[in-house]
Structure 1
Amino acid sequence: MNFIPFLIICPLTFLAGLVDSIAGGGGLISLPAFLLAGLPPHNALATNKLSSSIGTTASTVRYCKHGYFDRLIAIPGILCALAGSTCGSHLVLLTSDVILKKIMLVVLPVVAVCVLTDKKEIRHDTSFSLRKRMAIVSVCAFLIGIYDGFYGPGTGTFLLLSLTRLAHMDIRTASGNVKLINLSSNIAALFTFLCSGYILYAPGLAGAAFCLAGHYIGSGMVMKNGTKIVRPIIIVVLILLFIKVISGN
Protein backbone atom coordinates (compact mmCIF):
# COMPACT_ATOMS: atom_id res chain seq x y z
CA MET A 1 0.00 0.00 0.00
CA ASN A 2 1.17 3.56 -0.72
CA PHE A 3 0.67 6.51 1.61
CA ILE A 4 -2.66 7.61 0.08
CA PRO A 5 -4.79 4.86 1.70
CA PHE A 6 -3.35 5.86 5.07
CA LEU A 7 -4.69 9.37 4.51
CA ILE A 8 -8.13 7.76 4.39
CA ILE A 9 -7.67 5.20 7.14
CA CYS A 10 -5.98 7.26 9.86
CA PRO A 11 -8.39 10.20 10.25
CA LEU A 12 -11.49 8.05 9.79
CA THR A 13 -10.40 5.42 12.32
CA PHE A 14 -9.68 8.22 14.80
CA LEU A 15 -13.19 9.56 14.26
CA ALA A 16 -14.57 6.02 14.49
CA GLY A 17 -12.90 5.49 17.86
CA LEU A 18 -14.17 8.85 19.08
CA VAL A 19 -17.82 8.26 18.24
CA ASP A 20 -17.75 4.55 19.15
CA SER A 21 -16.62 5.27 22.70
CA ILE A 22 -19.44 7.79 23.11
CA ALA A 23 -22.44 6.63 21.09
CA GLY A 24 -21.47 3.31 19.53
CA GLY A 25 -21.41 2.53 15.83
CA GLY A 26 -17.80 3.47 15.17
CA GLY A 27 -17.42 0.43 12.94
CA LEU A 28 -19.88 2.11 10.59
CA ILE A 29 -17.05 4.55 9.88
CA SER A 30 -13.93 2.41 10.26
CA LEU A 31 -15.02 -0.52 8.08
CA PRO A 32 -15.90 1.69 5.08
CA ALA A 33 -12.58 3.46 5.66
CA PHE A 34 -10.66 0.25 4.95
CA LEU A 35 -12.93 -0.54 2.00
CA LEU A 36 -12.44 2.94 0.55
CA ALA A 37 -8.69 2.50 1.00
CA GLY A 38 -8.86 -0.41 -1.44
CA LEU A 39 -8.93 -3.49 0.81
CA PRO A 40 -11.05 -6.45 -0.39
CA PRO A 41 -14.07 -7.23 1.86
CA HIS A 42 -12.54 -10.11 3.81
CA ASN A 43 -9.28 -8.21 4.37
CA ALA A 44 -11.24 -5.08 5.34
CA LEU A 45 -13.32 -6.98 7.90
CA ALA A 46 -10.29 -8.72 9.40
CA THR A 47 -8.07 -5.62 9.44
CA ASN A 48 -10.86 -3.50 10.88
CA LYS A 49 -11.27 -6.02 13.68
CA LEU A 50 -7.59 -5.61 14.59
CA SER A 51 -7.97 -1.84 14.69
CA SER A 52 -11.25 -1.81 16.60
CA SER A 53 -10.12 -4.39 19.16
CA ILE A 54 -7.13 -2.32 20.18
CA GLY A 55 -9.17 0.88 20.20
CA THR A 56 -12.03 -0.60 22.22
CA THR A 57 -9.57 -1.72 24.89
CA ALA A 58 -8.82 1.90 25.80
CA SER A 59 -12.40 2.96 26.44
CA THR A 60 -13.22 -0.36 28.13
CA VAL A 61 -10.39 0.08 30.63
CA ARG A 62 -11.50 3.62 31.33
CA TYR A 63 -15.13 2.61 31.91
CA CYS A 64 -14.06 -0.23 34.22
CA LYS A 65 -11.73 2.10 36.11
CA HIS A 66 -14.73 4.30 36.94
CA GLY A 67 -16.80 1.26 37.94
CA TYR A 68 -19.40 1.61 35.18
CA PHE A 69 -20.28 -2.08 34.92
CA ASP A 70 -22.06 -4.88 36.74
CA ARG A 71 -19.73 -7.86 37.24
CA LEU A 72 -22.47 -10.45 37.77
CA ILE A 73 -24.13 -9.49 34.49
CA ALA A 74 -20.93 -8.88 32.54
CA ILE A 75 -19.37 -12.32 33.08
CA PRO A 76 -22.11 -14.43 31.42
CA GLY A 77 -22.44 -11.76 28.73
CA ILE A 78 -18.72 -12.01 27.97
CA LEU A 79 -18.82 -15.80 27.71
CA CYS A 80 -21.84 -15.74 25.40
CA ALA A 81 -20.27 -13.01 23.25
CA LEU A 82 -17.10 -15.07 22.86
CA ALA A 83 -19.13 -18.06 21.67
CA GLY A 84 -21.34 -16.05 19.33
CA SER A 85 -18.51 -14.08 17.76
CA THR A 86 -16.49 -17.23 17.13
CA CYS A 87 -19.44 -18.70 15.22
CA GLY A 88 -19.98 -15.50 13.23
CA SER A 89 -16.33 -15.03 12.25
CA HIS A 90 -16.06 -18.62 11.02
CA LEU A 91 -19.25 -18.11 9.00
CA VAL A 92 -17.97 -14.97 7.28
CA LEU A 93 -14.85 -16.81 6.13
CA LEU A 94 -17.16 -19.14 4.18
CA THR A 95 -18.96 -16.21 2.49
CA SER A 96 -17.80 -14.91 -0.90
CA ASP A 97 -16.64 -11.33 -1.49
CA VAL A 98 -19.58 -10.66 -3.83
CA ILE A 99 -22.13 -11.64 -1.21
CA LEU A 100 -20.29 -9.66 1.47
CA LYS A 101 -20.48 -6.48 -0.64
CA LYS A 102 -24.23 -6.91 -1.07
CA ILE A 103 -24.68 -7.55 2.64
CA MET A 104 -22.74 -4.39 3.47
CA LEU A 105 -24.97 -2.24 1.27
CA VAL A 106 -28.10 -3.66 2.89
CA VAL A 107 -26.89 -3.60 6.50
CA LEU A 108 -25.23 -0.15 6.39
CA PRO A 109 -28.43 1.96 6.28
CA VAL A 110 -30.18 -0.30 8.81
CA VAL A 111 -27.35 0.07 11.30
CA ALA A 112 -27.20 3.82 10.61
CA VAL A 113 -30.83 4.18 11.69
CA CYS A 114 -30.08 2.33 14.94
CA VAL A 115 -27.03 4.47 15.63
CA LEU A 116 -29.04 7.65 15.17
CA THR A 117 -31.94 6.43 17.31
CA ASP A 118 -32.45 8.67 20.30
CA LYS A 119 -31.19 6.78 23.35
CA LYS A 120 -33.01 8.33 26.26
CA GLU A 121 -31.87 7.23 29.67
CA ILE A 122 -33.96 4.47 31.23
CA ARG A 123 -34.02 4.20 34.97
CA HIS A 124 -32.91 0.98 36.59
CA ASP A 125 -36.00 -1.25 36.84
CA THR A 126 -35.99 -2.84 40.30
CA SER A 127 -38.82 -5.19 39.31
CA PHE A 128 -36.33 -7.10 37.15
CA SER A 129 -34.67 -9.94 39.03
CA LEU A 130 -30.94 -10.44 38.62
CA ARG A 131 -31.52 -13.86 37.06
CA LYS A 132 -33.90 -12.43 34.46
CA ARG A 133 -31.53 -9.61 33.61
CA MET A 134 -28.60 -12.03 33.28
CA ALA A 135 -30.63 -14.27 30.96
CA ILE A 136 -31.59 -11.36 28.69
CA VAL A 137 -28.04 -10.03 28.53
CA SER A 138 -26.63 -13.49 27.81
CA VAL A 139 -29.01 -14.17 24.91
CA CYS A 140 -28.44 -10.72 23.42
CA ALA A 141 -24.66 -11.06 23.81
CA PHE A 142 -24.67 -14.38 21.97
CA LEU A 143 -26.87 -13.24 19.08
CA ILE A 144 -25.18 -9.87 18.66
CA GLY A 145 -21.82 -11.61 19.06
CA ILE A 146 -22.64 -13.67 15.96
CA TYR A 147 -23.35 -10.44 14.09
CA ASP A 148 -20.13 -8.86 15.36
CA GLY A 149 -18.03 -11.80 14.23
CA PHE A 150 -19.71 -11.85 10.83
CA TYR A 151 -19.92 -8.11 10.12
CA GLY A 152 -19.51 -5.81 13.12
CA PRO A 153 -20.55 -2.18 12.59
CA GLY A 154 -23.18 -1.08 15.08
CA THR A 155 -22.49 -3.89 17.56
CA GLY A 156 -22.05 -1.46 20.45
CA THR A 157 -25.31 0.29 19.58
CA PHE A 158 -27.26 -2.96 19.35
CA LEU A 159 -25.86 -4.07 22.68
CA LEU A 160 -26.65 -0.74 24.31
CA LEU A 161 -30.22 -0.78 23.01
CA SER A 162 -30.64 -4.36 24.22
CA LEU A 163 -29.28 -3.72 27.71
CA THR A 164 -31.30 -0.54 28.23
CA ARG A 165 -34.54 -1.44 26.45
CA LEU A 166 -34.77 -5.18 27.18
CA ALA A 167 -32.73 -5.64 30.37
CA HIS A 168 -33.75 -2.18 31.70
CA MET A 169 -30.28 -1.21 32.87
CA ASP A 170 -29.36 2.42 33.43
CA ILE A 171 -27.42 3.94 30.54
CA ARG A 172 -24.10 4.37 32.35
CA THR A 173 -23.87 0.85 33.77
CA ALA A 174 -25.14 -0.56 30.48
CA SER A 175 -22.39 1.32 28.62
CA GLY A 176 -19.69 -0.25 30.77
CA ASN A 177 -21.10 -3.74 30.28
CA VAL A 178 -21.43 -3.09 26.56
CA LYS A 179 -17.72 -2.26 26.33
CA LEU A 180 -16.73 -5.47 28.12
CA ILE A 181 -19.02 -7.62 25.99
CA ASN A 182 -18.05 -5.85 22.77
CA LEU A 183 -14.34 -6.20 23.51
CA SER A 184 -14.83 -9.91 24.15
CA SER A 185 -16.60 -10.44 20.83
CA ASN A 186 -13.89 -8.43 19.08
CA ILE A 187 -11.15 -10.61 20.59
CA ALA A 188 -12.91 -13.84 19.59
CA ALA A 189 -13.30 -12.67 15.98
CA LEU A 190 -9.77 -11.27 15.92
CA PHE A 191 -8.33 -14.64 16.94
CA THR A 192 -10.22 -16.32 14.09
CA PHE A 193 -9.02 -13.74 11.57
CA LEU A 194 -5.44 -14.02 12.82
CA CYS A 195 -5.53 -17.72 12.06
CA SER A 196 -7.09 -17.11 8.64
CA GLY A 197 -4.30 -14.79 7.43
CA TYR A 198 -6.67 -12.07 6.17
CA ILE A 199 -5.34 -9.30 8.42
CA LEU A 200 -3.11 -6.66 6.76
CA TYR A 201 -0.92 -5.42 9.59
CA ALA A 202 0.41 -2.11 8.21
CA PRO A 203 -3.00 -0.43 7.72
CA GLY A 204 -4.44 -2.34 10.69
CA LEU A 205 -1.86 -1.12 13.20
CA ALA A 206 -1.96 2.41 11.79
CA GLY A 207 -5.72 2.43 12.14
CA ALA A 208 -5.42 0.93 15.62
CA ALA A 209 -3.17 3.75 16.81
CA PHE A 210 -5.61 6.42 15.65
CA CYS A 211 -8.61 4.45 16.87
CA LEU A 212 -6.95 4.11 20.26
CA ALA A 213 -6.50 7.87 20.48
CA GLY A 214 -10.13 8.43 19.46
CA HIS A 215 -11.42 5.97 22.07
CA TYR A 216 -9.34 7.54 24.82
CA ILE A 217 -10.51 11.07 24.05
CA GLY A 218 -14.10 9.98 23.44
CA SER A 219 -14.40 8.03 26.69
CA GLY A 220 -13.27 11.16 28.49
CA MET A 221 -15.96 13.17 26.74
CA VAL A 222 -18.61 10.75 28.03
CA MET A 223 -17.57 11.59 31.56
CA LYS A 224 -18.11 15.25 30.64
CA ASN A 225 -21.41 14.69 28.78
CA GLY A 226 -19.88 15.30 25.37
CA THR A 227 -22.40 13.19 23.44
CA LYS A 228 -24.26 16.21 22.05
CA ILE A 229 -21.07 17.54 20.46
CA VAL A 230 -20.37 14.35 18.53
CA ARG A 231 -23.90 13.51 17.37
CA PRO A 232 -23.95 15.98 14.43
CA ILE A 233 -20.55 14.63 13.32
CA ILE A 234 -21.94 11.09 13.28
CA ILE A 235 -24.84 12.10 11.04
CA VAL A 236 -22.69 13.94 8.50
CA VAL A 237 -19.98 11.27 8.28
CA LEU A 238 -22.45 8.39 7.92
CA ILE A 239 -24.29 10.12 5.08
CA LEU A 240 -21.06 10.90 3.22
CA LEU A 241 -19.61 7.43 3.69
CA PHE A 242 -22.84 5.74 2.64
CA ILE A 243 -22.79 7.71 -0.62
CA LYS A 244 -19.15 6.81 -1.23
CA VAL A 245 -19.65 3.12 -0.49
CA ILE A 246 -22.56 2.94 -2.95
CA SER A 247 -20.62 4.76 -5.67
CA GLY A 248 -17.64 2.48 -5.09
CA ASN A 249 -19.67 -0.65 -5.69
Structure 2
Amino acid sequence: MSLLEGFLLVFVGVFAGFVNSIAGGGSLLIMPLLIFMGLPSAEANGTNRVAIFIQNIFSVAGYRSKGVYVFPFAIYVAIPAIIGAIIGSNIAVDISDQVFNRILAIVMIVIMSISVFKPAMKLNPEELLSKSKVWTSVIAFFFLGIYGGFIQAGIGFLIIATLTSIHGFNMAKTNSIKVFVILCYTLAAVIVFYLEGKIRWEYGLVLALGNSIGAWIGSRWSVGKSDRMIRTILSVMVVALSIKLWFF
Protein backbone atom coordinates (compact mmCIF):
# COMPACT_ATOMS: atom_id res chain seq x y z
CA MET A 1 0.00 0.00 0.00
CA SER A 2 1.44 3.36 -1.07
CA LEU A 3 1.41 6.54 0.99
CA LEU A 4 -1.11 8.05 -1.44
CA GLU A 5 -3.42 5.07 -1.05
CA GLY A 6 -3.18 5.34 2.74
CA PHE A 7 -4.04 9.03 2.67
CA LEU A 8 -6.98 8.38 0.33
CA LEU A 9 -8.31 5.62 2.58
CA VAL A 10 -8.21 7.87 5.65
CA PHE A 11 -9.78 10.81 3.80
CA VAL A 12 -12.66 8.81 2.30
CA GLY A 13 -12.96 6.85 5.56
CA VAL A 14 -13.68 10.01 7.57
CA PHE A 15 -16.60 10.86 5.29
CA ALA A 16 -17.85 7.26 5.22
CA GLY A 17 -17.71 6.99 9.01
CA PHE A 18 -19.62 10.26 9.38
CA VAL A 19 -22.48 9.28 7.05
CA ASN A 20 -22.60 5.74 8.49
CA SER A 21 -23.14 7.09 12.00
CA ILE A 22 -26.07 9.34 11.05
CA ALA A 23 -27.54 7.56 8.03
CA GLY A 24 -25.78 4.84 6.03
CA GLY A 25 -24.20 4.06 2.69
CA GLY A 26 -20.54 4.52 3.57
CA SER A 27 -19.67 1.04 2.31
CA LEU A 28 -20.96 2.01 -1.13
CA LEU A 29 -18.08 4.50 -1.23
CA ILE A 30 -15.44 2.29 0.36
CA MET A 31 -16.03 -0.94 -1.59
CA PRO A 32 -15.37 0.57 -5.06
CA LEU A 33 -12.29 2.35 -3.66
CA LEU A 34 -10.80 -0.88 -2.31
CA ILE A 35 -11.53 -2.71 -5.56
CA PHE A 36 -9.96 0.16 -7.52
CA MET A 37 -6.83 -0.27 -5.39
CA GLY A 38 -6.57 -3.85 -6.62
CA LEU A 39 -8.35 -5.92 -3.95
CA PRO A 40 -10.61 -8.72 -5.22
CA SER A 41 -14.29 -8.19 -4.38
CA ALA A 42 -14.31 -10.79 -1.59
CA GLU A 43 -11.21 -9.28 0.02
CA ALA A 44 -12.65 -5.77 -0.30
CA ASN A 45 -15.82 -6.99 1.42
CA GLY A 46 -13.89 -8.62 4.26
CA THR A 47 -11.40 -5.77 4.66
CA ASN A 48 -14.20 -3.23 4.88
CA ARG A 49 -15.64 -5.14 7.86
CA VAL A 50 -12.52 -4.40 9.93
CA ALA A 51 -13.10 -0.67 9.50
CA ILE A 52 -16.86 -1.02 10.08
CA PHE A 53 -16.27 -2.87 13.36
CA ILE A 54 -13.78 -0.34 14.77
CA GLN A 55 -15.85 2.56 13.43
CA ASN A 56 -18.91 1.42 15.34
CA ILE A 57 -17.01 1.19 18.62
CA PHE A 58 -16.53 4.94 18.30
CA SER A 59 -20.12 5.49 17.11
CA VAL A 60 -21.55 3.64 20.13
CA ALA A 61 -19.21 5.56 22.45
CA GLY A 62 -20.20 8.84 20.83
CA TYR A 63 -23.92 8.27 21.35
CA ARG A 64 -23.41 7.02 24.91
CA SER A 65 -21.31 10.09 25.72
CA LYS A 66 -24.40 12.14 24.86
CA GLY A 67 -26.67 9.89 26.94
CA VAL A 68 -28.38 8.31 23.93
CA TYR A 69 -28.89 4.55 24.14
CA VAL A 70 -31.78 2.08 24.26
CA PHE A 71 -30.93 -0.93 26.43
CA PRO A 72 -31.73 -3.78 26.81
CA PHE A 73 -33.74 -3.51 23.56
CA ALA A 74 -30.55 -3.06 21.52
CA ILE A 75 -29.24 -6.36 22.88
CA TYR A 76 -32.51 -8.14 22.07
CA VAL A 77 -32.22 -7.24 18.37
CA ALA A 78 -28.42 -7.63 18.22
CA ILE A 79 -28.54 -11.34 19.10
CA PRO A 80 -30.66 -12.46 16.10
CA ALA A 81 -28.66 -10.10 13.87
CA ILE A 82 -25.44 -11.88 14.90
CA ILE A 83 -26.95 -15.28 14.05
CA GLY A 84 -28.16 -13.93 10.71
CA ALA A 85 -24.76 -12.38 9.95
CA ILE A 86 -22.99 -15.70 10.42
CA ILE A 87 -25.35 -17.21 7.86
CA GLY A 88 -25.07 -14.26 5.50
CA SER A 89 -21.27 -14.19 5.63
CA ASN A 90 -21.19 -17.78 4.38
CA ILE A 91 -23.69 -17.32 1.57
CA ALA A 92 -22.49 -17.31 -2.04
CA VAL A 93 -25.02 -15.77 -4.39
CA ASP A 94 -24.66 -16.23 -8.17
CA ILE A 95 -25.85 -12.83 -9.36
CA SER A 96 -24.12 -10.17 -11.44
CA ASP A 97 -22.97 -6.99 -9.71
CA GLN A 98 -25.08 -4.83 -12.05
CA VAL A 99 -28.31 -6.73 -11.38
CA PHE A 100 -27.67 -6.76 -7.62
CA ASN A 101 -26.90 -3.02 -7.53
CA ARG A 102 -30.06 -2.12 -9.43
CA ILE A 103 -32.22 -4.27 -7.16
CA LEU A 104 -30.61 -2.65 -4.11
CA ALA A 105 -31.21 0.82 -5.56
CA ILE A 106 -34.95 0.13 -5.94
CA VAL A 107 -35.22 -1.46 -2.48
CA MET A 108 -33.46 1.52 -0.86
CA ILE A 109 -35.78 4.06 -2.49
CA VAL A 110 -38.97 2.14 -1.63
CA ILE A 111 -38.07 1.33 1.97
CA MET A 112 -36.61 4.71 2.81
CA SER A 113 -39.59 6.55 1.30
CA ILE A 114 -41.70 4.80 3.93
CA SER A 115 -39.32 5.77 6.73
CA VAL A 116 -38.36 9.30 5.66
CA PHE A 117 -41.65 10.64 4.40
CA LYS A 118 -44.24 8.94 6.58
CA PRO A 119 -45.79 11.01 9.38
CA ALA A 120 -44.13 10.69 12.78
CA MET A 121 -45.72 8.08 15.01
CA LYS A 122 -47.32 9.34 18.21
CA LEU A 123 -46.94 6.54 20.71
CA ASN A 124 -46.72 6.35 24.46
CA PRO A 125 -43.34 5.22 25.82
CA GLU A 126 -44.89 1.87 26.76
CA GLU A 127 -46.09 1.32 23.20
CA LEU A 128 -42.64 1.95 21.70
CA LEU A 129 -41.31 -1.24 23.28
CA SER A 130 -44.43 -3.38 23.63
CA LYS A 131 -43.87 -7.15 23.61
CA SER A 132 -45.37 -7.59 20.14
CA LYS A 133 -43.21 -4.83 18.65
CA VAL A 134 -40.06 -6.21 20.25
CA TRP A 135 -40.72 -9.70 18.86
CA THR A 136 -41.43 -8.23 15.43
CA SER A 137 -38.05 -6.51 15.52
CA VAL A 138 -36.27 -9.64 16.76
CA ILE A 139 -37.53 -11.54 13.70
CA ALA A 140 -36.78 -8.64 11.34
CA PHE A 141 -33.23 -8.25 12.65
CA PHE A 142 -32.44 -11.89 11.97
CA PHE A 143 -33.02 -11.26 8.27
CA LEU A 144 -31.26 -7.89 8.44
CA GLY A 145 -28.30 -9.75 9.92
CA ILE A 146 -28.24 -12.16 6.98
CA TYR A 147 -28.15 -9.24 4.55
CA GLY A 148 -25.57 -7.34 6.60
CA GLY A 149 -23.35 -10.39 6.89
CA PHE A 150 -23.55 -10.96 3.16
CA ILE A 151 -22.95 -7.51 1.66
CA GLN A 152 -23.20 -4.74 4.35
CA ALA A 153 -23.78 -1.94 1.81
CA GLY A 154 -27.04 -0.13 2.53
CA ILE A 155 -27.76 -1.96 5.80
CA GLY A 156 -27.94 1.30 7.72
CA PHE A 157 -30.87 2.47 5.61
CA LEU A 158 -32.71 -0.81 6.16
CA ILE A 159 -32.18 -0.77 9.93
CA ILE A 160 -33.38 2.84 10.15
CA ALA A 161 -36.47 2.00 8.12
CA THR A 162 -37.21 -1.02 10.32
CA LEU A 163 -36.84 0.80 13.65
CA THR A 164 -38.77 3.92 12.66
CA SER A 165 -41.57 1.93 11.02
CA ILE A 166 -42.07 -0.51 13.90
CA HIS A 167 -41.21 1.58 16.94
CA GLY A 168 -41.30 5.23 15.94
CA PHE A 169 -38.01 6.06 17.67
CA ASN A 170 -36.52 9.48 16.96
CA MET A 171 -33.46 9.52 14.71
CA ALA A 172 -30.90 9.81 17.52
CA LYS A 173 -32.19 6.71 19.32
CA THR A 174 -32.63 4.88 16.02
CA ASN A 175 -29.03 5.53 15.05
CA SER A 176 -27.73 4.57 18.49
CA ILE A 177 -29.42 1.16 18.17
CA LYS A 178 -28.25 0.81 14.58
CA VAL A 179 -24.55 1.31 15.35
CA PHE A 180 -24.69 -1.06 18.33
CA VAL A 181 -26.30 -3.84 16.30
CA ILE A 182 -23.85 -3.39 13.42
CA LEU A 183 -20.96 -3.43 15.89
CA CYS A 184 -22.12 -6.78 17.29
CA TYR A 185 -22.86 -8.63 14.06
CA THR A 186 -19.79 -7.24 12.27
CA LEU A 187 -17.56 -8.99 14.80
CA ALA A 188 -19.12 -12.28 13.69
CA ALA A 189 -18.65 -11.34 10.03
CA VAL A 190 -14.98 -10.39 10.61
CA ILE A 191 -14.33 -13.81 12.14
CA VAL A 192 -15.88 -15.59 9.14
CA PHE A 193 -13.93 -13.51 6.60
CA TYR A 194 -10.73 -13.97 8.61
CA LEU A 195 -11.11 -17.74 8.67
CA GLU A 196 -11.62 -17.65 4.89
CA GLY A 197 -8.46 -15.51 4.44
CA LYS A 198 -10.39 -12.62 2.93
CA ILE A 199 -9.03 -9.71 5.00
CA ARG A 200 -6.15 -7.38 4.06
CA TRP A 201 -5.33 -6.03 7.50
CA GLU A 202 -3.05 -3.17 6.40
CA TYR A 203 -5.85 -1.67 4.32
CA GLY A 204 -8.53 -2.39 6.90
CA LEU A 205 -6.70 -0.78 9.83
CA VAL A 206 -5.76 2.36 7.91
CA LEU A 207 -9.35 2.67 6.68
CA ALA A 208 -10.55 2.14 10.25
CA LEU A 209 -8.61 5.23 11.37
CA GLY A 210 -10.58 7.45 9.02
CA ASN A 211 -13.90 5.71 9.68
CA SER A 212 -13.46 6.04 13.44
CA ILE A 213 -12.77 9.77 13.30
CA GLY A 214 -15.83 10.34 11.12
CA ALA A 215 -18.02 8.10 13.29
CA TRP A 216 -17.08 9.91 16.52
CA ILE A 217 -17.77 13.31 14.96
CA GLY A 218 -21.02 12.21 13.31
CA SER A 219 -22.51 10.44 16.32
CA ARG A 220 -21.92 13.39 18.63
CA TRP A 221 -22.94 16.00 16.04
CA SER A 222 -26.28 14.33 15.30
CA VAL A 223 -27.51 14.33 18.93
CA GLY A 224 -29.71 17.34 19.49
CA LYS A 225 -30.23 17.99 15.80
CA SER A 226 -33.82 17.97 14.60
CA ASP A 227 -35.24 14.81 13.05
CA ARG A 228 -36.09 16.89 9.98
CA MET A 229 -32.41 17.77 9.43
CA ILE A 230 -31.25 14.17 9.85
CA ARG A 231 -34.02 12.87 7.59
CA THR A 232 -33.08 15.46 4.93
CA ILE A 233 -29.48 14.26 4.97
CA LEU A 234 -30.76 10.69 4.85
CA SER A 235 -32.96 11.45 1.85
CA VAL A 236 -30.09 13.07 -0.07
CA MET A 237 -27.83 10.08 0.65
CA VAL A 238 -30.50 7.58 -0.46
CA VAL A 239 -31.17 9.37 -3.75
CA ALA A 240 -27.47 9.94 -4.55
CA LEU A 241 -26.43 6.37 -3.76
CA SER A 242 -29.41 4.88 -5.59
CA ILE A 243 -28.45 6.82 -8.74
CA LYS A 244 -24.87 5.60 -8.35
CA LEU A 245 -26.03 1.98 -7.94
CA TRP A 246 -28.31 2.15 -10.98
CA PHE A 247 -25.98 3.80 -13.49
CA PHE A 248 -22.45 2.87 -12.35
TM-score by length of 1: 0.82
SS at the partner of 1:71? coil
Say whether residues 1:119 and 2:122 are aligned partners. Answer: no
Q: Which structure 2 residues correspond to residues 34-183 of structure 1 after superposition, within 5 A?
A: 34-91=34-91, 94-95=92-93, 99=95, 101-102=97-98, 104-110=100-106, 113=109, 117=113, 119=116, 122-123=120-121, 125-126=123-124, 127=127, 130-183=130-183
Aligned: 1:24 with 2:24? yes
Deviations along 1:149-179, whole A, 9 cap, x unmatched? 0001111221111011123333332222112
Residue 237 of structure 1 deviates from its aligned partner by 6.5
Residues 198-237 of structure 1: pairs in structure 2 closer than 5 A: 198-225=198-225, 227=230, 234=237
Say whether the 8 Å CA contact 1:89–1:193 is kept in structure 2: yes
Q: Which moved more, 1:81-90 or 1:128-137?
A: 128-137
User: Quick one: which amino acid aligns to residue 185 of structure 1?
Assistant: Y
The 1-side partners of 2:93 and 2:163 are apart by: 30
Distance 1:163 1:239, change over 3 A: closer
Shift of 1:124: 5.3
SS at match of 2:46: helix
> After alignment, is 111-120 or 131-140 more displaced?
111-120
Q: 1:170 to 1:235 in 2, by over 3 A?
A: closer
Q: Give CA-to-partner distance per residue, 1:165-220, whole Å, 9 cap, x none.
A: 12333333222211211211211111111111100011111111001111111112
Q: Is the 8 A contact 1:86 1:192 kept in 2?
A: yes
- Bigger drift between 42-51 and 20-29 goes to 20-29
Query: Mean alpha-carbon deviation: is it higher for 165-174 or for 185-194?
Result: 165-174
Distance (whole Å) between structure 1 residues aligned to residue 239 and residue 155 of structure 2: 20
Does the C-alpha gap of structure 1 residues 147 and 116 become closer, same or farther in structure 2, counting only changes over 3 Å?
same
Cα pair 2:109 2:242 within 8 Å, conserved: no
Greater mean alpha carbon deviation, residues 221-230 or residues 37-46: 221-230
Deviation at 1:239, TM superposition (A): 7.2
- Code of the residue aligned with 1:105 in structure 2: it is N
Establish whether residue 14 from structure 1 lines up as the match of residue 14 from structure 2: yes
8 A contact 2:129–2:167 mirrored in 1: no
Distance 1:184 1:78 in 2: 6
- Report the Cα offset of residue 89 of structure 1: 0.3
Q: 1:77 to 1:129 in 2, by over 3 A?
A: closer
Structure with the bigger RCO (C-alpha within 8 Å, sep 6+) is 2
* 3-state SS in 2 of match to 1:209: helix
Unaligned runs of 5+ in 2: none
CA 1:240/1:33 → structure 2, altered by over 3 Å: closer, same or farther? farther
Name the aligned partner's letter for residue 110 of structure 1: I
Kept in 1, the 8 Å contact 2:47–2:200? The answer is yes
Q: Match of 1:199, SS?
A: coil
Secondary structure of the structure 1 residue equivalent to 2:67: coil
SS in 2 for 1:9: helix
TM-align CA RMSD: 3.0
Give SS of 1:125's match: coil
Deviates further, 212-221 or 126-135: 126-135
Q: Decide whether the 8 Å contact of 1:164 with 1:174 is kept in 2.
A: yes
Larger deviation, residues 22-31 vs 181-190: 22-31
